[in-house]
Structure 1
Amino acid sequence: MLIAARDEAAALPQLLEALRLQTLPAALFEVLIADDHSADGTTALVAAAETTPFALHLVALPPGATGKKAALAAAEAQARAPWVVCTDADCRPGPSWLQAYADLLLSSTHPLLHFVSGPVRLTPGGAWFDGLLGLEFAGLVGVGGACIARGRPTMCNGANLAFRRATFHEVGGYADNAGLASGDDEFLLHKMHQRYPAGVRFLADARAVVDTPAPATLRALLRQRVRWASKYPHYRTAAPRQLALLVLGANVSLFVGLLAGCWPALRPWVAASWALKLGADAWLLAPLLRLLQRRRWLAWLLPLQLLYAPYALAVGLAGQRAQGYRWKGRQVR
């Protein structure tokens, strides 16, 4: 298992405890934590964690090597298993998380897998928009899983994925986008799918859900989404671009439709468009929310739809214009 960590001393004890509780026998996995020049005691915390039932290794990045991709690559270079599973230092997997991956990878019906994307669920950050954000994030996970199932992968989440190490090296790892701070997950997904179109899978298993903390403030949320959006110009496959334009166009059209509703003759068409969009979203989200055990989030569907067009436009434009951003105490691009 690979974990990149920078200044995560507050979060790592909870992650290590979650890994201690894994139902997969501890002798069957090892954990490699790559410390990205932390200044808060992360290194000492990992070095002092001597009571873990699984093999735990600290990987220190050399001077000049920085960022999540460099950390993951350094940890991968010291791994011994043919497959690695990745999560983030502030995440919390359930007790059967690794067992769910093991069951899939050991299954004789999936011998040609190269990349597996897993489900991620937001935990409340204490903000008023937690429900809205949880539903929106679930939608991203659902769309990513559906696109993988359709053979046109668009997105995944580095908080929960696995890949075959030999294929990682075959496609060049992170070398062709090492200069970008974001995208350790999606760029790798796209490259592995291009090389092995039938080798990508979404793990729709409730045991495989990983919890990740939601941004606690609106400012933190916008910073996160601008960072994500900054990857858009660097995509080399058509599917992510097409999906982004489709989602943005559909939501902006609905928003404009509200203004068009000022003309009585157009109101039935506007109402039908909204009903069709909300019905399609509910149909997509319902099974995913069951998987995530968060069915109550569906109540936020209408408020999310009302807010999504201006939000998506603002984030998309900011992401295209961004020359860099602050992340983990660093100025990156």
Structure 2
Amino acid sequence: MTIILLTVSFLYALFTFILWLTWLRIPLVQSEDLLTNKPFITVVIPVRNEAGKIEKLMDDLSQQVYRQFEVIVADDASTDDTWKIIQSYAQHAPFALHPLPLANEQTASPKKRAITQSIAMAMGNLIVTTDGDCRVGPNWLFAIAAFYQQTGARLISGPVTFTTEQTIFDSLQTVEFSSLIGTGACTMSLGFPTMCNGANLCYVKEVFSEVGGFTGVDHLASGDDEFLMHKIASRYPDGVRFLKSTDAIVRTQSHRSLRVFYNQRKRWASKWRAYESYLPSLLAIFVFLSNAAPVVAVVAWWAGFLNGNVTLVVIGLKAIPEFLFLRQILVFLQKKSSVRVIPLTQLIYPFYVLFFGLAAQGKGYIWKDRKLS
């Protein structure tokens, strides 16, 4: 047992240390260059029941420095005033706003359907997706367009974080989410992309068609972002990039309800078995085992089967490199105040990973007032 625990812990420490060094080597992009070729962008926003938030996002889009864009808001049969708000806003929007009503019909993946139908009517050669509860800065689209001009990337993944933290639960979510954003960015930089977030994603419209869109994964409720990224990365191995720019940060509201948080994380965790590439699945298993190691070590020490010094080494190999990595990501995301919550997150996270790793084996969850599988 001692050898297994130490081996897993050492490999995780090495992996996290590599991520930390990789993040430091990813250049911070400054969006100050003049654009010689301004691509037309279509911003696609799938929504359902976002009446309290969608107008703020529209206001943010009205303030964009980059003006070569249109917006398609695909309303998935909202039961609140979302559709009325979008229709009303379209009457005076300072940009081309196209409300797209979707039929209220049963589908395995409502979000993929919304994005696919939006792209079918999109005029832009770049598709940018975000969510109806997000907030964006005035240079968001400019940063994306400039990065596309600089790199010619086929898919660009942008940073996502939460808005102002009001509770300890908010801060814990911020730290946990930063680990996903940072890991996704670093694995892209290392040449084997594993994860991204559809709240801040850009890809070339023609490439979406080239890879068949969501064909083959349209039976899965989740993964409109990552499955597409893996398809594009398979076709264009050097074409997937992370945009490390503070101008490109998208902010969304953290979950205030444990039930909603549970359903979202279960939705995320449930898709790992569907990956065609072995790397994301391997990473999911590796993270599960690495988080299980300190729990097993503490239990074994308490039961008298493991030396106390070995237990401390196992914990230290996980906690120290993790802290260094998470701190860098949080500082970049302008969440320096959440750094102090990292130790508490590290204490809770192993149990969190174990719980959702097992919960994901069960089918079904509630999302946007719908039961999905």
Aligned to 1:282: 323
The answer to whether structure 1 residue 40 and structure 2 residue 73 are counterparts is no
Aligned to 1:78: 121
Aligned to 1:214: 254
The answer to whether structure 1 residue 5 and structure 2 residue 74 are counterparts is no
Range 176-185 or range 64-73, more displaced:
64-73
Structure 1 residue 126 displacement after superposition: 4.8
Superposed CA deviations along residues 180-230 of structure 1, whole A, max 9, x for unmatched, are 211100100111111111000011111100001111022221111111111
Aligned counterparts of 1:294 and 1:261: Cα–Cα separation in 2: 36
Aligned to 1:328: 368
Structure 1 residue 115 displacement after superposition: 0.7
Structure 1 residue 123 displacement after superposition: 2.4
1:215 match: secondary structure: coil
Q: Identify which of structures 1 and 2 has the higher relative contact order when contacts are C-alpha pairs closer than 8 Å and 6+ apart.
A: 2
Aligned to 1:304: 345
Aligned to 2:133: 90
**How many aligned residue pairs are there?**
327
Name the CA shift for 1:302/1:275 in 2 (closer, same or farther; >3 Å). Answer: same
Amino acid at match of 1:160: N
Aligned to 2:58: 16
1:89 match: secondary structure: coil
Correspondences of 1:1-333 after superposition (within 5 Å): 1-24=43-66, 26=67, 28-49=68-89, 50-62=91-103, 64=105, 66=107, 67-107=110-150, 110-111=151-152, 113-124=153-164, 126-262=166-302, 263=304, 266-322=307-363, 324-333=364-373
Q: Does the aligned pair in 1 maintain the 2:47–2:132 contact within 8 Å?
A: yes
Moved over 6 A (4+): none
Aligned counterparts of 1:248 and 1:62: Cα–Cα separation in 2: 39
Structure 1 residue 127 displacement after superposition: 4.5
Q: TM-score, normalised by structure 2?
A: 0.84
Name the CA shift for 1:149/1:96 in 2 (closer, same or farther; >3 Å). Answer: same
Name the CA shift for 1:171/1:273 in 2 (closer, same or farther; >3 Å). Answer: same
1:211 match: secondary structure: strand
Q: TM-score, normalised by structure 1?
A: 0.93
Q: Does the aligned pair in 2 maintain the 1:126–1:216 contact within 8 Å?
A: no
2:71 match: secondary structure: strand
Aligned counterparts of 2:170 and 2:49: Cα–Cα separation in 1: 25
Instruction: Percent identity, please.
Output: 39
Superposed CA deviations along residues 102-153 of structure 1, whole A, max 9, x for unmatched, are 110122xx13x11111100022575541211110110111111111111111
Q: Does the aligned pair in 1 maintain the 2:154–2:240 contact within 8 Å?
A: yes
Aligned counterparts of 1:265 and 1:185: Cα–Cα separation in 2: 43
Aligned counterparts of 2:148 and 2:103: Cα–Cα separation in 1: 33
Q: Does the aligned pair in 2 maintain the 1:31–1:57 contact within 8 Å?
A: yes
Structure 1 residue 270 displacement after superposition: 2.1
Superposed CA deviations along residues 7-63 of structure 1, whole A, max 9, x for unmatched, are 212211111011111121x3x111111111122122221111122211111112245
Q: Does the aligned pair in 1 maintain the 2:154–2:204 contact within 8 Å?
A: yes
Q: Does the aligned pair in 1 maintain the 2:165–2:171 contact within 8 Å?
A: no
Superposed CA deviations along residues 251-299 of structure 1, whole A, max 9, x for unmatched, are 1101222233345972222222322222211222222112101122222
Amino acid at match of 1:278: A
2:209 match: secondary structure: helix
Amino acid at match of 2:256: A
Q: Does the aligned pair in 1 maintain the 2:300–2:306 contact within 8 Å?
A: no
Name the CA shift for 1:55/1:94 in 2 (closer, same or farther; >3 Å). Answer: same
Aligned counterparts of 2:209 and 2:306: Cα–Cα separation in 1: 59
Structure 1 residue 72 displacement after superposition: 0.7
Structure 1 residue 73 displacement after superposition: 0.7
Aligned counterparts of 1:280 and 1:227: Cα–Cα separation in 2: 28
Structure 1 residue 88 displacement after superposition: 0.2
Q: Does the aligned pair in 2 maintain the 1:183–1:231 contact within 8 Å?
A: yes
Name the CA shift for 1:21/1:65 in 2 (closer, same or farther; >3 Å). Answer: farther
Superposed CA deviations along residues 152-199 of structure 1, whole A, max 9, x for unmatched, are 111111111101111101111012111221110010011111111100
Range 262-271 or range 290-299, more displaced:
262-271
Aligned counterparts of 1:233 and 1:227: Cα–Cα separation in 2: 12
